[in-house]
Structure 1
Amino acid sequence: MAVTKIKPIKSTLKKALDYIQNPDKTDGKMLVSSFGCSPETADIEFEFTIAQALERGNNLAHHLIQSFEPGEVDYQKAHEIGKQLADAVTKGKYEYVLTTHIDKGHVHNHIIFCAVNFVDYNKYNSNKRSYYGIRNMSDRLCRENGLSVVAPQKGGKGKSYAEYIAEKTGTSWKGKLKIAVDALIPQVSSFEELLSRLQAAGYEIKPGKYVSCRAPGQERFTRLKTLGADYTEEAIRERIEGRRTRTVKAPKAERGVSLLIDIENSIKAAQSRGYEQWAKIHNLKQAAKTLNFLTEHQISQYEDLTAKIEEVQTESEKAGDALKGMEKRLADMAVLIKNVSTFQKTKPAYDTYRKARNKDRYRAAYEGTVILHEAAAKALKAVGISKLPNLAALQAEYEKLQEQKEALRADYGKLKKQVKEYDVIKQNIDSILRQPKEPEREKEMERG
């Protein structure tokens, strides 16, 4: 089990980076990793990236903490999971430093990543949605590594997205008003009578160019026209006079095949006869869809089905591996572009430093620039770059690879959908094959 939390770093970036890299907490810095930067110069590299952003914001970095259940994971595995999480969150675009602390009762990872990415210099948007995305990534990695996952608290009543939106935008009041208007239209002979009846029902009416209504307890008035095209004054008058009917939404396209319900072992079916009847009809429909699917895909034998599932699964895994490989290639190229760009931008100052009579004095004045140039040169040398590549050509290649990645992602998504679809088909077929045949049931009844 891993618990995650994230907070912004608005100042003291170096202090935060020094803290997470504390040798006493990281097994002598053995559990320190980084991407797109050197752990020793990360604060300077972060600030250099931020300086190039069009919209900087107030944050220098974001500090993500991933804590594991005591005794559930060893240090190296925790660090490995932390790297997978950091890569998933930053997507090969943000510099980060990852450390694993082992000085407390529970192992935990610290990930500090730059607030601005070094590919297009856009800032990271940290909000509830992005946090839940991080939490889901962490949970998925825990499952993949055989760790437990945090379960929702029992008895806790959360809000659905619809409830949240209703509270924020007032759509719950709109919904009630629409119901009231729809109910009154068949009963009244004029728009004025409808308003009078609404007023009698407790609504406060505000006349004007756009008629507005406010229910008891509602803070603001709601204009009728904001309820939709069928609720403007003109539309309501036409509906009252019978010259217009309320627009009915087209039914949604029916989904694919769903799993059959195990009625015999369903507690809900045992408790509700209505649900049991619905489940039987549902199963008949899904069984028919399952058989239609097999016919459409020319699958007549169970062995053919299992072979097809294996084929699709293999294709999906290959596509997934290809996508991961492309993401790794893009991440490496993004870092290369960053280092080439940094090298070029800092070279004039570094050349001046090399020629300066008083190098110590010059370095003290331009220390950040000198460090950035040396870090970029070191990184380029580490990947075997002796001759500086053309930056424009690298960026053009990166764009092409990005397009290829999106195509791979689309293919992988389709294959994943197929895998899921075939899995449902197989489960349904297995369920159908397990069911006793009707004649056998009748014989058993006769014997009884």
Structure 2
Amino acid sequence: MAVTKIIKIKASVESCIDYATNSLKTNNGELVKCIGCELGSAKYSFLTALSNNDYHKSHKDSELVKAYHIIQSFSNDDKITPKEANAIGLEMMERMFGGKYIFICATHTDKGHIHNHIIVSSVESARTGKMINDDLSLLHKLRRTSDQLCREHGLNVIEKPKGRGKSYKEWFEDTNNPKGSKKQQLRDLIDSQIKLSSDFDDFLNHMMEAGAKIETRTSHKYGQVTKYKLPEASENDHWNRGYRLGSGYSNQMITKRIERRIKFEADREALKKERAEANKARRDSMSKAEKAIDRTQLKISSIVDTSKMEITSENYKKIMWYNKQNAMLAERIKGEIKKKYGVSYTEIKSKISKFTAENKRIAQEIRDYKEPIQELRKLIENCQIYIDTFKINERYEASKDPERYYENHDIALNAFAAAEDYLSRKGFDTSFLRDKEKSEKFMTSLRNRLEAAEDTVLTAEEEINKNEKAIAELRKAQKNLDKFHKKNRDEI
């Protein structure tokens, strides 16, 4: 189980980076990974990305979201190694942002549990100035991505959290008790009684009839508050206030839920009556020939299982009508999949397998592209840092007071040293990067290569999405046709 939270960094990004990458917390730096930058040039890369954004240029420094600090904590119940946790953090960021934002993922092992500290720039690393879309969907996407990765790695996940967050004790009970925790059992009981009630007083009567224990008190903060215990609760069991069970369980919200349910049921009945009257009026206005044609029209969107319907003199004609509609729909579905995918009913499963295999092949191609793209981004970033800072380094080397000069330009000088070291390790000749015309031409060619590679990946991802939609459509068709043909086989 991983718990995630996200913090906006408006103060010093540098201090957050220093905290996250502390060698005492990260096994001497072994559990620190940088994407889109080198650790030595990370601070400079973050600041440079910010300087290319128009919003940041036109607002006060204290108003700016310079980066995001994401914390991903893992439960001790999950037998996860620090390296695996770090890999999950890296993959989470890749799925979230596709490598477009520089980030540092540092796994800490100094506390009682393993957790990731991820510092991600708020602005794209390609110096486009584009920012992360900062709204509630960012947090939701973060949690969904983290949960998906936990499932893939065999870790526990809190499924569909509602209302207030769960304590670890409640989560453990939900996971290990088939009925769920006591709080969840209370929620289920309340939900079932809301469906039977006409107002809040009627709801309380239904709860007591179900055996639940109830107390009502008045609170200065919340007004009237109702407390609940399960029917089998002992005297030592705690009372549970309604509002502490979740956002839909306070007295006011239960009343609103009852009112909404009653209104929904009334509206549904009114609509049903209105449609019946409209259909009757339409039928009454038809001639015999028009009625005959109308009976041949398809009016259902999915196969209706009539095998479990009891045949009586009252519903015999209705069942016969459903059977005819099922046959018409089955023929339409067969025609549509034949026209669109070139397959018959018996070939649907094989076609789904082909689409699935194709997606696996494309996914592997995307994975093969990811590392070269990441290396190309890193090369572009380090070349650009070198171009931006080599003159600062020259002035430092020529300075009469290098110590003071370094104090004033430490971030840029450290970035130059890291970039120079990276390019040297890659066997890269940096001399032409000092020539403005040559360096601009070279950087343009690198960015064109990156754009072409990213377009290839984007096209491949679109193809996967297209195939996934086809698979979903074929599975829906197969489900309907399986239901139709199974009924026929049973009758035979």
- Among 135, 144, 148, the residue aligned to 1:136: 144
Q: Deviations over 1:417-443 (max 9, x none)?
A: 122223333444444454463544xxx
Contact preservation (8 Å) 2:50, 2:123:
yes
**Which stretch has the larger CA shift, 277-286 or 402-411?**
277-286
Contact preservation (8 Å) 1:78, 1:108:
yes
Q: Distance in 1 between matches of 2:423 and 2:325?
A: 62
1:221 aligns with none
- Among 328, 339, 352, the residue aligned to 2:395: 352
1:299 maps to 2:343:
yes
- Give the partner amino acid of 2:39: P
1:313 maps to 2:356:
yes
- Give the partner amino acid of 2:149: L
Q: 1:261 to 1:391 in 2, by over 3 A?
A: farther
- Give the partner amino acid of 1:399: E
1:397 is displaced (CA, Å) by 2.5
Q: Deviations over 1:264-323 (max 9, x none)?
A: 899xxxxxx9xx989989966764444224433443473x33332222111122222333
1:126 aligns with 134
Contact preservation (8 Å) 1:258, 1:424:
no
Q: Distance in 2 between matches of 1:50 and 1:265?
A: 65
- Give the partner amino acid of 1:355: A
- Give the partner amino acid of 2:91: Q
**Match of 2:73, SS?**
strand
Contact preservation (8 Å) 1:100, 1:107:
yes
- Give the partner amino acid of 2:429: S
**Which TM-score applies when normalising by structure 2?**
0.59
Q: 1:28 to 1:62 in 2, by over 3 A?
A: same
1:106 aligns with 113
**Match of 1:437, SS?**
helix
**Match of 1:59, SS?**
coil
Q: Distance in 2 between matches of 1:126 and 1:15?
A: 22
Q: Distance in 1 between matches of 2:392 and 2:52?
A: 17
Q: Deviations over 1:306-345 (max 9, x none)?
A: 3322221111222223334445443332222221111111
2:80 aligns with 74
- Among 372, 392, 408, the residue aligned to 2:444: 392
Q: Distance in 1 between matches of 2:416 and 2:392?
A: 9
1:332 aligns with 375
Q: 1:335 to 1:432 in 2, by over 3 A?
A: same
Contact preservation (8 Å) 2:334, 2:345:
no
**Match of 1:55, SS?**
helix
Q: 1:64 to 1:292 in 2, by over 3 A?
A: same
Q: Where in structure 2 are there 5+ consecutive unaligned residues?
A: 57-62, 163-183, 188-245, 249-299, 310-314, 434-438
**Which TM-score applies when normalising by structure 1?**
0.64
Contact preservation (8 Å) 1:55, 1:123:
no
Counting aligned pairs with the same residue, the percent is 26
Q: 1:416 to 1:298 in 2, by over 3 A?
A: closer
**Match of 1:148, SS?**
coil
1:129 is displaced (CA, Å) by 1.5
**Match of 1:299, SS?**
coil
- Give the partner amino acid of 1:323: I
Q: Deviations over 1:7-35 (max 9, x none)?
A: 11111323322222334433333322111
- Give the partner amino acid of 2:70: L
Q: Deviations over 1:208-248 (max 9, x none)?
A: xxxxxxxxxxxxxxxxxxxxxxxxxxxxxxxxxxxxxxxxx
Q: 1:391 to 1:419 in 2, by over 3 A?
A: same
Alignment of 1:54-93 (within 5 A): 54-56=54-56, 58-75=64-81, 76-93=83-100
- Give the partner amino acid of 1:345: D
Q: Where in structure 1 are there 5+ consecutive unaligned residues?
A: 159-256, 267-272, 441-448
1:111 is displaced (CA, Å) by 0.8
Q: 1:96 to 1:298 in 2, by over 3 A?
A: closer
- Give the partner amino acid of 2:45: E
1:410 maps to 2:453:
no
- Give the partner amino acid of 1:83: L
**Match of 2:55, SS?**
coil
Contact preservation (8 Å) 2:107, 2:114:
yes
**Which stretch has the larger CA shift, 425-434 or 367-376?**
425-434
Q: Distance in 2 between matches of 1:279 and 1:46?
A: 64
**Match of 2:428, SS?**
coil
Instruction: Name the count of aligned residue pairs.
Output: 333
Contact preservation (8 Å) 1:25, 1:103:
yes
Contact preservation (8 Å) 1:93, 1:331:
no
Contact preservation (8 Å) 1:2, 1:142:
yes
- Give the partner amino acid of 1:416: E
Q: 1:345 to 1:77 in 2, by over 3 A?
A: same
Q: Distance in 1 between matches of 2:24 and 2:328?
A: 63
1:350 is displaced (CA, Å) by 1.4
Q: Distance in 2 between matches of 1:66 and 1:265?
A: 50
